[in-house]
Amino acid sequence: MNLRFLSAATLAAVAALYGSAAAGECSNATLDGQYAFTVRGESMTPNGLSITNGVAMTRFDGAGHLTQVDFVLDNGLPSPGPVNAAGFHNHETGSYSVNSDCTGRAEIDGPAPPGLARGVVIQLMFVLSNHGRAIHTVVVGITPPGAPGPIPTSVYSDGYKVGGEGDGEGD
């Protein structure tokens, strides 16, 4: 495109269009579909430091609700809790909220183990990138079942939209 022949009004309109796209205006609808995550980090438990590695598949509905399955190892052992036939924790639900600047927060609630009133509660802060095709999270609070409150943690994850364009790292 030869910019010398465009009017000032056309240039302003094109700049505004590209400016708003570059600003990354986001909403709950930006986070819609299935995302595959890699989870890494460590937490301080009553038994000492716990190293966490895992994978998760999370479905965001574009309206602030999510469901998730995950497989997480703590110090090399599968984390406790009910699992499906494939060995993944399932029946995890939650909510999320995306701000216009593509930052946000989410909460994931796991099912309550037998004899307990509630399951694990995981609180996250996140940023979206690549027009909502990638999500980068940090756990800001994890409350294990039966615990009085959150435990100190340094866990993070990176997720990428499954299927279609932009479903891989580095896209």
Domain limits at 113? 26-161
- Total of domains in the chain: 1
* Position 152 in a domain: yes
pLDDT value for 11 = 31
pLDDT at 46: 78
| pTM higher than the cut 0.85 | no
Q: Is residue 171 part of a domain?
A: no
Whole-number pLDDT of residue 33: 97
Q: What integer pLDDT is reported at residue 136 of this predicted model?
A: 98
Task: Tell me the mean pLDDT per 10 residues along the chain, length 171.
Answer: 38 34 77 98 87 97 98 92 91 97 97 87 97 97 89 95 64 44
Please state the three-class secondary structure of the chain as a single string.
CCHHHCCHHHHHHHHHHHHHHHHCCCCHHHCEEEEEEEEEEEEEECCEEEEEEEEEEEEEECCCEEEEEEEEEECCEECCCCECCCCCEEEEEEEEEECCCCEEEEEEECCCCCCCCCCCEEEEEEEEEHHHCEEEEEEEEEECCCCCCCECEEEEEEEEECCCCCCCCCC
| Predicted pLDDT at 24 | 58
Task: Evaluate whether residue 7 is within a structural domain.
Answer: no
For residue 120, what is the domain's CATH number?
Answer: 2.40.128
Is 14 contained in some domain? no
